[in-house]
Amino acid sequence: MTLITDLTEVYNSDAKTSEPVRAPVRRRQVPIPLISLATVIGLLLIWAAAASAELVSPVFLPSPAVVAASLWNLVSVGFVDSTLPQHVLASLGRVLGGLAVAVLIGVPAGLAIGASRIGRGILDPIVEFLRPLPPLAYLPLIIIWSGIGEASKVIVIALSMLPSIVISTASGVRSVPKDHVNAARAFGATKRQVTFHVVLPSALPSILTGIRIALGTGWSTLVAAELVAATRGLGFMIQSAAQFLVTDVVIAGIAVIAVIAILLEIAARALERWLAPWASAK
């Protein structure tokens, strides 16, 4: 009887210890876009509260409602003889034109720096000379050389974008695995084929990253470029409004630039996922 009782207790203890362990319950995480949206709404509420309490003069800090009304007037009526879509198109044309010039020059220059000692020796000092210079430093010289038309604005924006694209491209070329290059050469690939079928695809994620960085630099340079002999553009609109203390137009223009820059960043990321899906999957 005692033996049966002991065996029963052992069996029960084994049954208790062999119960399946429940997996820990994961808490449902708040999506990042929802956190970002809540942050924006919180900042708008703080702005509205500060404006309604008149902590700062309405001349210097208009309320969000005033800025929204000003934005609608910019679309329908306009400012300084042009509507908001006309200002946006003028600025977009300059930024995208500068980006096209910077890509056409910067990608081959980056390839030369990353793949050749001679190319690095020739081009690297030029890039390092341009990289720390603010656009306002060489803007007068560009105006002297190319006049006060659209060409000078596009050139200044392109020069500000160029170092980011060159450096990113060169970094991508240097990071190409040597095994890939040697394997292509072993199969009889020419130098041109190695460049276009091995080096460029491998360096593409770095090139696209450089373009994304260059877009941010281009928008920051746009305001400086539109200071000279411009009749349209977001930078020109902001500067004109600031001269007359039309703060609501200034804030509206800054908000439009921010929205366009975010949309371009989203487009650049989508382009990267399309052209280099192996990089975005990491």
Candidates 93, 61, 122, 100; CA nearest to 222 is 93
Per-residue confidence (pLDDT) for residue 99, from 0 to 100: 94
Radius of gyration of the chain (CA): 29
Per-residue confidence (pLDDT) for residue 21, from 0 to 100: 53
| 164 within domain boundaries | yes
pLDDT at 39 over 50: yes
* Category of 232 on φ-ψ map: left (φ > 0), alpha (ψ -120 to 50) or beta: beta
Q: How many domains does the chain have?
A: 1
pLDDT digits (tens, 9 = 90+) for 102-147: 999 999 999 999 888 888 898 989 898 888 888 888 888 888 888 8
| 244 within domain boundaries | yes
Check residues 21 and 103 and name the one with the higher pLDDT.
103
The domain that holds 110 is classified in CATH as 1.10.3720.10
- Give me the mean pLDDT over the 223-250 stretch: 86
- Give me the mean pLDDT over the 145-155 stretch: 87
pTM for the whole structure: 0.80
- Give me the mean pLDDT over the 76-99 stretch: 90
| 178 within domain boundaries | yes
Cα-Cα-Cα-Cα torsion 180, 182, 185, 189, nearest 10 degrees, comes to 20
The pLDDT-based confidence of 220 (bands split at 50, 70, 90) is: confident
**How many residues does this entry show for the chain?**
282
pLDDT digits (tens, 9 = 90+) for 155-208: 999 999 999 999 999 999 988 888 888 888 888 888 888 888 888 888 888 999
Residue with tokens 């970094």: 171
- Segment among 5-14, 64-73, 77-86 with least mean pLDDT: 5-14
pLDDT at 236 over 60: yes
Per-residue confidence (pLDDT) for residue 167, from 0 to 100: 93
Strand-pair partners of 181: none
pLDDT at 19 over 60: no
Chain-centroid distance of CA 275 in Å reads 17
| 65 within domain boundaries | yes
Percent of the chain with pLDDT over 90: 25
The pLDDT-based confidence of 224 (bands split at 50, 70, 90) is: confident
| 5 within domain boundaries | no
Per-residue confidence (pLDDT) for residue 20, from 0 to 100: 54
Per-residue confidence (pLDDT) for residue 98, from 0 to 100: 93
| 26 within domain boundaries | no
| 17 within domain boundaries | no
Q: Indicate the average pLDDT of the chain.
A: 84
Q: Which amino acid is at 219?
A: W
Check residues 225 and 17 and name the one with the higher pLDDT.
225
Residue with tokens 């694209």: 165
| 37 within domain boundaries | no
Q: Which amino acid is at 217?
A: T
The pLDDT-based confidence of 2 (bands split at 50, 70, 90) is: low
Per-residue confidence (pLDDT) for residue 7, from 0 to 100: 46
Per-residue confidence (pLDDT) for residue 96, from 0 to 100: 93
Range of the domain at 252: 59-280
Distance separating alpha carbons of residues 240 and 260, to the nearest angstrom:
20
Q: How far is CA 74 from CA 82, 135, 171, 259, in A?
A: 8, 29, 43, 16
Q: How far is CA 79 from CA 89, 94, 102, in A?
A: 14, 19, 31
